[in-house]
């Protein structure tokens, strides 16, 4: 085992909510079920305005192979299907449900396989029909990841419990509180892709989680690996390199080196879907940062507005200067709290004006720090300059699409250059040049 990936940085981990057990919230009076809450084509609505829906009822179907089903998180009435706030800042079509407070559920016993008597192919269909996506933030449809082509055999599944982003502790708590759910999902993933080995990967700042996982009933072939604390170790390619020494090639995927990585939350959700027939209608998220009155880890229905999460937990100590969907390194800045929790919402962070450093972007001094920390072996300062001087045609030669937008380069830059912003702009310009 290599135990190290190239580059990376050491931000203060600020895991202040790691002792906060996962708790529930009062249900919201309105749920906003966005049709775009995964990578891929938007889902297609299967209900109409005025319909009464039951908890777990499918309300939207996949809009393509890389797309997902959507289910009602509780019983209620469809009030609208209309553009609604989305964490991306855009308005995106959503199914708006007004809950009736009865939480009446659809009988899905026919979907459950508690004795695991069905085939791995049937389990994969259940994962697809249950609307499960990667819960570490990327929101990639899980059944697609578990469908590698025959010429790419998988020998290892990695259960990703690294949670390397500062402030986020949802996966940490899940490992402490639901190790058997995670290991149940890991066993199923191994069977689906035919992998004989699996690793539960955890960073060294969660020794209690590593201990709980080690003491749990580990399926045959499963080990627990504790990795040194280093950001962005939770990124798939970096995690695989740290665990196995295998390098995913430029433009390639983990399956090219025989590995499938699944977030621990995704594995627990898979386990519930297959054994109990419960589709993905909720997730654990961290409410963190210095500003919330009730920081912690919460089980939240998909579609709950972020403002409801904040209000239900005691509000904020003052006006927010920065709101972030996800972690501070790779998360998205939010314009407000109107958007809903989606399947990929790992956290909401709120900072006041006193907690932010003012960045004054200056000319690059060619110090090379960004090159030494880039985990994707890129030349961040060159990419940034190319975008600044609009030399878009050369970006591909410098492998801009390999950038995982981890922000390590910007983190160390003494000239406060926002390379991630430049690189995102460069990627968008390349897509535009390609006519996509
Ligand atoms: S160039 Fe991309 S991958 Fe490299 S450090 Fe910067 S954000 Fe991360
Ligand atoms: S870290 Fe900043 S100043 Fe140094 S080479 Fe990179 S972009 Fe230039």
Q: What is the mean pLDDT of residues 55-73?
A: 92
User: What are 261-319's pLDDT values in tens digits?
Assistant: 999 999 999 999 999 999 999 999 999 999 999 999 999 999 999 999 999 999 999 99
User: What are 363-389's pLDDT values in tens digits?
Assistant: 999 999 999 999 999 999 999 999 999
User: Is the Cβ atom of 235 under 6 angstroms away from ligand 1?
Assistant: no
pLDDT tops 70 at residue 2: no
Alpha-carbon distance values, 359 to 304, 325, 416 (Å): 33, 20, 6
- The Cα–Cα gap between 325 and 33 comes to 17
Q: Residue 99 Cα, ligand 2 centroid: separation in angstroms?
A: 51
Closest C-alpha residue for ligand 2 atom 2: 413
Q: What is the mean pLDDT of residues 30-39?
A: 92
User: Is the Cβ atom of 238 under 6 angstroms away from ligand 1?
Assistant: no
- pLDDT, residue 250, reads 87
Cβ neighbour number for residue 421 with a 10 Å cutoff: 15
Ligand nearest to C-alpha 7: 1
Interacting residues of 253 by C-beta distance below 8 A, sequence separation 6+: none
Closest C-alpha residue for ligand 1 atom 8: 406
User: Is the Cβ atom of 329 under 6 angstroms away from ligand 1?
Assistant: no
Enter the pTM of the model: 0.96
Alpha helices in 161-226, H assignment, sequence order = 170-177, 179-193, 207-215
Ligand nearest to C-alpha 379: 1
Q: Residue 365 Cα, ligand 2 centroid: separation in angstroms?
A: 6
- The Cα–Cα gap between 414 and 243 comes to 31
User: Is the Cβ atom of 262 under 6 angstroms away from ligand 2?
Assistant: no
Per-residue burial over 86-104, b if 16 or more Cβ lie within 10 Å, else e, is bbeeeebbbbbbebeeeee
Interacting residues of 389 by C-beta distance below 8 A, sequence separation 6+: none
Q: Residue 414 Cα, ligand 2 centroid: separation in angstroms?
A: 7
Contact 354, 436 (CB under 8 A): no
Q: Residue 365 Cα, ligand 1 centroid: separation in angstroms?
A: 18
Contact 339, 309 (CB under 8 A): no
- pLDDT, residue 436, reads 60
The 3-class SS string of 285-320 reads EEEECCCECCCEEEEEECCCEHHHHHHHCCCECCCC
Closest C-alpha residue for ligand 1 atom 3: 403
**Main-chain phi, psi angles of 68, to 5 degrees:** -135, 155
Atom of ligand 2 nearest to the CA of 419: 7
Interacting residues of 286 by C-beta distance below 8 A, sequence separation 6+: 17, 167, 168, 169, 170, 295, 296, 297, 298, 346, 347, 348
- pLDDT, residue 134, reads 95
Tokens encoding 319: 């006006």
Angle, helices 120-129 vs 179-193, to 10°: value is 120
Rg of the chain in Å (alpha carbons): 21
Confidence band of 102 (pLDDT split at 50, 70, 90) = very high
User: Is the Cβ atom of 365 under 6 angstroms away from ligand 2?
Assistant: yes
Q: What is the mean pLDDT of residues 417-431?
A: 93
User: Is the Cβ atom of 333 under 6 angstroms away from ligand 2?
Assistant: no
Alpha-carbon distance values, 241 to 23, 159, 244, 256, 257 (Å): 35, 14, 5, 13, 10
Q: What is the mean pLDDT of residues 174-192?
A: 98
- pLDDT, residue 435, reads 72
Atom of ligand 2 nearest to the CA of 368: 5
- pLDDT, residue 112, reads 97
């Amino acid at each position: 085992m290599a135990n190290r990936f190239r580059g990376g940085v050491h931000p203060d981990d600020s895991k202040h909510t790691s002792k906060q057990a996962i708790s529930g919230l009062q249900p919201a009076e309105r749920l906003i079920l966005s049709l775009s809450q995964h990578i891929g084509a938007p889902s297609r609505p299967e209900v109409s305005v005025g319909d009464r829906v039951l908890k777990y009822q499918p309300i939207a179907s996949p809009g393509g192979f890389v797309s997902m089903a959507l289910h009602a998180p509780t019983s209620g009435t469809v009030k609208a299907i209309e553009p609604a706030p989305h964490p991306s800042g855009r308005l995106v079509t959503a199914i708006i449900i007004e809950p009736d407070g009865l939480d009446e559920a659809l009988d899905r016993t026919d979907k459950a396989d508690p004795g695991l008597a069905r085939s791995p192919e049937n389990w994969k269909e259940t994962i697809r029909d249950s609307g499960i996506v990667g819960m570490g933030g990327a929101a990639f449809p899980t059944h697609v990841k578990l469908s590698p082509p025959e010429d790419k055999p998988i020998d290892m599944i990695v259960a990703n419990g690294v949670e390397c982003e500062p402030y986020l502790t949802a996966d940490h708590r899940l490992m402490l509180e639901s190790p058997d759910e995670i290991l149940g999902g890991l066993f199923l993933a191994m069977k689906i892709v035919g992998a004989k080995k699996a690793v539960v990967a955890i960073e060294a700042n969660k020794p209690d989680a590593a201990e709980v996982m080690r003491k749990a009933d580990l399926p045959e072939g499963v080990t627990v690996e504790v990795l040194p604390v280093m950001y962005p170790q939770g990124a798939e390619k970096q995690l695989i390199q740290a665990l196995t020494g295998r390098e995913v090639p430029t433009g390639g995927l983990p399956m090219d080196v025989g590995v499938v990585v699944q977030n621990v939350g995704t594995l627990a959700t898979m386990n519930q879907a297959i054994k109990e027939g419960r589709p993905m209608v909720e997730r654990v998220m961290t409410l963190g940062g210095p500003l919330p009155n009730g920081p912690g880890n919460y089980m939240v229905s998909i579609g709950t507005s972020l403002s409801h999460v904040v209000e239900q937990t005691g509000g904020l100590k003052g006006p927010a200067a920065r709101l972030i969907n996800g972690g501070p390194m790779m998360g998205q800045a939010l314009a407000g709290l109107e958007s809903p929790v989606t399947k990929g919402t790992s956290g909401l962070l709120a900072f006041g004006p006193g907690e932010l450093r003012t960045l004054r972007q200056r000319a690059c001094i060619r110090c090379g720090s960004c090159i030494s920390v880039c985990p994707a072996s890129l030349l961040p300062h060159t990419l940034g300059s190319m975008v600044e001087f609009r030399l878009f045609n050369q970006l591909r030669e410098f492998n801009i699409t390999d950038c995982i937008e981890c922000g390590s380069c910007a983190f160390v830059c003494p000239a406060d250059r926002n390379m991630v912003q430049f690189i995102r702009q460069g990627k968008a310009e390349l897509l535009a040049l390609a006519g996509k």
